[in-house]
Amino acid sequence: MRKTDATFKVESGVKIDGATGGTLTVEAPTANGTVLVTFRPKGRQRKYTLTLPEVCDMIAWRVAKKEA
């Protein structure tokens, strides 16, 4: 199991909070196994955090919607 956070730069394709791009962080699992995914738009203080199952649900819903 991974012990450190994974951080990714998102340069394009995202427009949130008036910013294009930002930083996506997948945090290491907590003691109870919860994994958090956080996105912070470039140049903003606000962070958006969801659990990994919530993110998976959103991805599956969007793909299903596009395929319909």
Q: Is residue 21 part of a domain?
A: yes
Would you state the pLDDT for residue 30? 87
Is residue 1 included in any domain, yes or no?
no
Global pTM value: 0.83
Task: Indicate the number of domains in the chain.
Answer: 1
Q: Cα separation of 61 and 68, whole Å? A: 11
For residue 22, tell me if it sits in a domain: yes
**What does the alpha-carbon distance between residue 22 and residue 7 come to, in Å, rounded to a whole number?**
11
Domain that includes residue 24, residue range = 6-67
* pLDDT, tens only, 6-36: 999 999 888 888 889 999 999 999 889 899 9
In 1-68, which residue ranges form alpha helices assigned H by DSSP? Answer: 52-67
